[in-house]
């Protein structure tokens, strides 16, 4: 028996399980069962888990909600008029309902963090290459500019820590050449868990203003951190717009002009869902040289962000240990209205490990009676 003997878990559609389909919600990929388990699935089975289901995702995975012509719509467990987020929305819904103990998702722009945020869950989206992606299907396969990451989702920090630790202690780099041989470093975990931290607080990404319930929870959390003896310093957001420009305005995610998704949808003769149709239509193919220039800009921003963090000091002269950032500018929203993912995409481009955790719940009437004055700062914020 393994340490997770008998624990029921679910995994996102993308993970190859022998004899089951990994569709990415494309009709053309249905009825093509995997011939082998993904290495992570092999590890989980050795640990003793019982995989009870594969879960839904949006067509192509490239959306922050969960809907597709193949499997249909996934709604929020607490209110069917709301979205559970995406792209790991099926996982979040299962966990939120108590249907499984642990979920495994993937994220290329916040696809673990966003649904965990909308469902009050814990979600770990590590840096790419921390956990094995071998045997996990992905849209835009072959691109290397922003890599998708595998991570666990759970209802508690203890569950999340346990499964992450066990997955890393299985030494996945022995079967996946893309992973560096970095063991679970319990000494660092213990040090960070037992001393006061310096927390950089980024209340706003500078592009889209957060809603009052998010601001209330964020400020409450800062108050509690300071009361517990941690230092909180304001974080510089001046580099955010450059990161978002590469992601959004310059089409980093659609450098192929949308061809990967377009060909996958066309192969099955299925309709586009509107949001993916819009994503593909926005795509403009660029030359290899232009692509190289985007990569150079990405590396320059990564270096600038690293230097900014490295030079930041608290009033007592200590370096910043961790950033505190809203996952989304809002709570769970009505179906079809999830738009802004800048708060999460920043850290995918930087390739930083990120954790989403529950910090409160919005009241039905809103934190100020349900209405507040909003003056858009730009067309995205409108």
The whole-angstrom separation of Cα 286 and Cα 145 is: 14
Q: CB 299: neighbour CB atoms within 10 A?
A: 10
Catalytic residue among 22, 87, 100, 148: 87
Is 111 in the active site?
Answer: yes
Q: Report which DSSP code applies to 65.
A: S
Who's near 231: CB < 8 A, 6+ residues apart?
A: 196, 197, 198, 199, 314, 315, 316, 318
Is 87 in the active site?
Answer: yes
Closest CA to 125 of 346, 340, 297: 346
Catalytic residue among 22, 88, 96, 111: 111
Starting at the earlier edge strand, list the strands of the sheet with 102-107.
50-55, 8-12, 102-107, 149-154, 122-125, 354-356
Nearest 5°: phi and psi at 105?
Answer: -125, -175
Catalytic residue among 12, 54, 298, 345: 12
Tokens 């560096």, located at residue? 180
The whole-angstrom separation of Cα 98 and Cα 95 is: 5
Complete DSSP assignment for 231-294:
EEEEPP-TTHHHHHIIIIIT-GGGTTTTHHHHHHHHHHTPPPPHHHHHHHHH-----HHHHHHH
Is 29 in the active site?
Answer: no
* Contact present, 38 and 134 (Cβ < 8 Å): yes
Complete DSSP assignment for 291-357:
HHHHHHHHHHHHHHHHHHHHH-B-TTSPBP-EEE--SSSSSS-BTT-----HHHHHHHHHT--EEE-
Starting at the earlier edge strand, list the strands of the sheet with 322-324.
231-234, 198-201, 322-324
> What is the set of active-site residues?
12, 87, 111
């Amino acid at each position: 028996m393994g340490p997770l003997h008998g624990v029921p878990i679910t995994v996102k559609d993308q993970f190859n399980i022998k004899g089951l389909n990994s569709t990415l919600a494309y009709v053309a990929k249905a009825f093509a069962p995997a011939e082998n388990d993904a290495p992570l699935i092999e590890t989980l089975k050795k640990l003793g888990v019982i995989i009870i289901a594969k879960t839904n995702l949006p067509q192509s995975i490239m959306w922050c909600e969960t809907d597709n012509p193949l499997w249909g719509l996934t709604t929020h467990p607490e209110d069917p008029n709301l979205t559970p987020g995406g792209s790991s929305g099926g996982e979040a819904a299962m966990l939120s309902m108590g249907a499984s103990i642990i979920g495994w998702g993937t994220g290329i722009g916040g696809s673990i963090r966003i649904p965990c945020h909308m469902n009050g869950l814990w979600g770990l989206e590590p840096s790419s290459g921390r956990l094995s992606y071998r045997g996990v299907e992905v849209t835009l396969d072959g691109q290397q500019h922003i890599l998708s990451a595998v991570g666990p989702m759970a209802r508690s920090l203890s569950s999340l820590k346990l499964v992450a630790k066990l997955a890393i202690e299985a030494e996945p780099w022995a079967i996946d050449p893309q992973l560096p041989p970095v063991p679970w470093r319990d000494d660092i975990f213990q040090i960070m868990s037992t001393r006061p931290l310096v927390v950089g607080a980024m209340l706003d990404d500078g592009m889209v203003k957060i809603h009052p319930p998010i601001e209330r929870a964020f400020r409450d959390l800062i108050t509690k951190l300071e009361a517990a003896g941690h230092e909180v310093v304001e974080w510089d957001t001046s580099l955010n717009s450059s990161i978002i420009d590469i992601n959004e305005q310059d089409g980093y995610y659609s450098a192929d002009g949308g061809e990967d998704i377009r060909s996958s949808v066309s192969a099955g003769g299925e309709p586009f869902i509107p949001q993916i149709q819009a994503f593909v239509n926005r795509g403009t193919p660029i030359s290899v040289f232009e692509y190289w220039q985007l990569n150079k800009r990405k590396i320059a921003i990564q270096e600038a962000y690293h230097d900014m963090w490295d030079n930041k000091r608290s009033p007592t002269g200590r370096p910043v240990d961790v950033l505190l950032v809203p996952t989304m500018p809002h709570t769970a929203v009505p179906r079809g209205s999830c738009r802004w993912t800048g708060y999460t995409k920043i850290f995918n481009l930087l390739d930083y490990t990120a954790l989403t955790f529950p910090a409160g719940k919005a009241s039905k009437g809103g934190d100020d009676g349900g209405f507040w004055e909003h003056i858009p700062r730009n067309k995205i914020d409108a």
